[in-house]
Amino acid sequence: MPKVLYEKRDRIAYVTLNRSEAKNAIDPETHELLWRTWEDFRDDDDVDIAIMTGSGDAFCAGADLKTFIPEWIQNASANRVRDNVKTGLGGLTRGLHRIYKPVIGAINGWALAGGLETALACDIRIASDRAQFGSFEARRGYHHGDGGIVRLVNTCGAGIALEMLLTAEPIDAQRALQCNLVSRVVPHEQLMEEAERTASHILRNSQRAVRSAKETILDVIGRPLDDQLRIEALNAYATADVEETLGLLQRFYEKRDAGRSGTHETPLSS
């Protein structure tokens, strides 16, 4: 069986880490497969959103401690480290993180170390009630290097990042929800259904608007307020396609826009 499963259905790309015997740890081959998968997702106009999950009882245990980490520790020359800055772990963490199509992480179990980094690189994280999150690297003599610290601070704040990284102790799904690490927690057997429901909400929208919103969010993080406001205004007022937007407005006027709430409800399938 391939180490990464990749399927496409109804404008959704399904990316599943498939090394359950190794808790879906990312070895060099899996890293390359993920890189090619995310490139294909980026370039395929027939898919607009991805759902990423893991097989078995883990989302991802991070970089493989037998085949990935030792080789890096022993052969991390300055030039190789410099080249690695362009690639990250599995591509989504760094290098292909500027794909503006949304990525939903369906966190089905353990998300550890580089697996936590991979989860954090997803735009929306939905957790099974069995999920566990942890940064165990300090137990092994190193720490996050593929976006884990940056995204944990940006998402949860310095306090949570310091606790998780310095103690190297895991947190469960409910604590992750309290920390803003995940958007919601659902019963394990409902995880993919909830991820697909979230995807359907995104797919009803203008994908031009969705991708511009993601781009804008990535662009404003960490900038001064005036820069943030300028970027938001430039992106927002330049986003709309005249034909698409006027057509969507007409659907609103006629009370038939998909997913409409209130007195004139309209299902997403309309």
Q: Which residues are catalytic?
A: 117, 137
Determine the Cα–Cα distance for residues 217 and 5; give it in Å rounded to an integer: 29
Determine the Cα–Cα distance for residues 35 and 90; give it in Å rounded to an integer: 5
Determine the Cα–Cα distance for residues 136 and 113; give it in Å rounded to an integer: 6
DSSP 152-220: HHHHH-HHHHHHHHHH---EEHHHHHHTTSSSEEE-GGGHHHHHHHHHHHHHTS-HHHHHHHHHHHHHH
In terms of Cα–Cα distance, which of 168, 53, 38 is closest to 96?
Answer: 38
Determine the Cα–Cα distance for residues 35 and 161; give it in Å rounded to an integer: 27
